[in-house]
Structures are given as C-alpha cells and as structure tokens.
Amino acid sequence: MITRSLLLFVAFGLMTHASAQTAAPAAKKATEPTSETAAPKADEDATIITPFRPAQLPVAKETHTFQLAKLNKLQATETTRELQRLYSAYANQNIVDGSPAGFSKALGFIATITYVVHQDLGDNRYFVKASWPAVGSIKDGLPAATDAYCILLLDHPVAVGSSGKANGMHVGMVSIQFTAKFPPLDGKRLTMRRDAFLECTPLEDSPAALQKFATEILQGSSYSVTTLEKVTCKTCGGLGFTREAQKGKLEDKRTPCTECESGKSTITVETKFIP
C-alpha cells in the first residue's frame, strides 16, 4: 500500500504530463492537421511532480538487544518501563497498511502536521501551508517548520481553504511545477522544491498492542526499533573536555569537547527484540 501511494503521489503528475504530450501524435495518426485543423497542444497547466531528494532515516551506530526472558530480572536492563518506551518508539516508526502483516516500516519520519489547504493538485494531493515539530536528531532528523509550504497526500478529499491535522510520513523533497490558483500568485506558473508528506496511521500504542507485540516476539517474530540514546562520549571519556599537556606547567590545558555535551553524546541505536 505504501508503494502504491508513493507511485500515485509522484508519478500521477508525470503520467498526466506525458498523456498530454502524446495526445498530439495520436491525433496526427488519425487525421493530418490542415490549415483549418491545428494539432492539439500539451496541457501547459498540468501539475508535474518529480522526486528530488528521497527521505533518509538515520543509520544506527550501535546495535543492542532486548531479551524478553530477562524482563524485570535482577541486574537486567530489560525492564517493563524500558519495554514500554521502546514499543512507543516502534509504534511511531511503523504504519498500518494493506500488507500481509497489516503494517510496514515507515520510509521516513512521522510527524503531526497542522495544515491549511491552498490548492487542490488533483487525486487528493494538496499544496498546503503547514507546521510540524522536529523529529529525530538535529543532524539527521526532520527539522521543525512553521507556516511552510509543502505537498500533502491525504486519504480523503478536502476543500480548498480548509484546515486540519494529520499524521504525515515524510517521503522526502520533490520538485513541483504547477499553475497557482491562489492570491497573490493566481495564474502564475511556479516551479519549486518542497517537502512532501503522505498521510498515514501509526501503529496503536496501548497496553493491549504492547501485549500482542511481546507475544509475537516470544513466538519468533523479528522486530527492531531505532532510537536516540545518550552514551558516554568516547572522545573525552565522559569528562566533557579533553586534556592537552602544557610545556612548563603542571596543569593540563582543558578544551571543551566538541563531540558531546557534558560528557554525553547522542547516537542512533538499533534495538533488536529477542525471546
């Protein structure tokens, strides 16, 4: 279902543009144009959407395991609270779809988007002014935005001028060409690059869903989740600064570590769940 929606989102504009361009040769085969019959022209107002930069999820720098058999055991890090935290992250990284499992891993970050529709681009694609919070790390995550123009593919039609809120999966940045139908740009042909989102439904985050998740792991299902974790900085050894010997002085020169904050660095960790 994800693949179908993305193809619909990106390729529909290309197909519309291509069909308009091939209309002229098809008409020429049927009847050669004369001075009285001009060949049909391509639709200059067609909406064209092409991929520019796909969404990229961060690559894990470390891999951990969470073994359910050790849950709440003495000296074990596998606690109920930790399992709940990891599952909440897992639920927000997977979306409900029509696959055999009933869900699939999201292709990009999922954010709550508040939007106002400025133009209907056809087939539930909309040019909107939207706001969303930051998701993920500062370096590899999705930056926050306020009143930013973007492309949004919704599950249902909405009216121009309406506002709403939706869970949107970031699918990257696209290049779009379209004729504006809103002031003050009404009638102008625009070409721009904008972030694109696909409305989605994350997995349910509830005690019942968590219990089902744990049961499936015990039965052999393979699941993993990616999270941001604070770990001891390897550059400074957790001190928050590096030492440099100074000639003729007893004390070393202390330089604040550029790789961490107060001795802790944030890295991306993949946690694999095992029975």
Interval 120-156: pLDDT, tens = 999 999 999 999 999 998 888 999 999 999 999 999 9
Does residue 100 belong to any structural domain of this protein?
Answer: yes
Q: Is 263 left (phi over 0), alpha (psi -120 to 50) or beta?
A: left
d(CA 9, CA 50): 9
Strand partners, 175: 50, 193
Q: Which residues contact 153 (CB under 8 A, 6 or more apart)?
A: 5, 8, 9, 124, 125, 126, 196, 197, 198, 199
Domain count for the chain, please give it: 1
Domain that holds residue 117: 1-16+41-58+82-220
Does residue 22 belong to any structural domain of this protein?
Answer: no
d(CA 213, CA 223): 9
SS3 content of the chain, % helix, strand, coil (to 5): 20, 40, 40
The pLDDT value given to residue 35: 41
Does residue 9 belong to any structural domain of this protein?
Answer: yes
Q: Tens digits of per-residue pLDDT, 34-57?
A: 444 444 445 677 899 999 999 989
Does residue 1 belong to any structural domain of this protein?
Answer: yes
Does residue 65 belong to any structural domain of this protein?
Answer: no
* Cβ 113 vs Cβ 131: under 8 Å: yes
Q: Tens digits of per-residue pLDDT, 180-219?
A: 999 999 999 999 999 999 999 999 999 999 999 999 999 9
Does residue 157 belong to any structural domain of this protein?
Answer: yes
Does residue 162 belong to any structural domain of this protein?
Answer: yes
Q: Which residues contact 180 (CB under 8 A, 6 or more apart)?
A: 119, 186, 187, 188, 189, 190
Check residue 52 and report its DSSP letter: E
Position 16 pLDDT exceeds 70: no
3-state SS, residue 16? helix
- Note if the pTM is more than 0.75: yes
